[in-house]
Amino acid sequence: MTTLPDMTPAELKISAARDPQPPAGLSPEARVLWLIKKGEWDAAHQIAQDIETPIGSWLHALLHLIEGDLANARYWFAEAGRPVRKPAQIGDLWEEIATEILG
C-alpha cells in the first residue's frame, strides 16, 4: 500500500473535514477511509469493491455497517477474517482500520 508516509488517522480525518479532494498519493484503502469520513459512501464503496484483499473486505464490511446492511456486513467481516462489529462501534472500527492501513 502506498500512502503519504507521515499521514496519521487524525490527519486523514482533518483532511476529509477540510479538503475538497483527498490528498495526492493515498492508497485505495486510505482513499476509502477518507471518503467515508467525507460522507461519500457510494464512492468509497466503488473503490472498496475493487480491493480484493482481506483489508478490502474489512473496508467493505465497515461500509455495509455504516449503511445499516448488517447481513452484508457480517459476510464481509467473515471474508476479512475479522470479528463482527455493531453499528455503535463504527467510529472505533474506522480508527482500527486506519491505524492498520496508515500504521
pLDDT at 60 over 50: yes
Q: Which three cell numbers stand for residue 49?
A: 469493491
pLDDT at 103 over 90: no
Q: Which three cell numbers stand for residue 56?
A: 478490502
Question: Are the CB atoms for 12 and 94 separated by under 8 Å?
Answer: no
Q: Which three cell numbers stand for residue 36?
A: 467515508
Residue 3 or residue 100, greater confidence: 100
pTM score of the predicted model: 0.91
Q: Where are the domains of the chain?
A: 9-102
pLDDT at 78 over 90: yes
pLDDT at 30 over 60: yes
What number of helices (H) and strands (E) belong to the chain?
A: 6, 0
Q: How far is CA 49 from the centre of its chain?
A: 12
pLDDT digits 0-9 by tens, 36-46? 999 999 999 99
Q: What is the pLDDT of residue 2?
A: 43
Q: What is the pLDDT of residue 1?
A: 42
- Using pLDDT thresholds of 50, 70 and 90, give the confidence band for residue 3: very low
Q: Which three cell numbers stand for residue 31?
A: 482513499
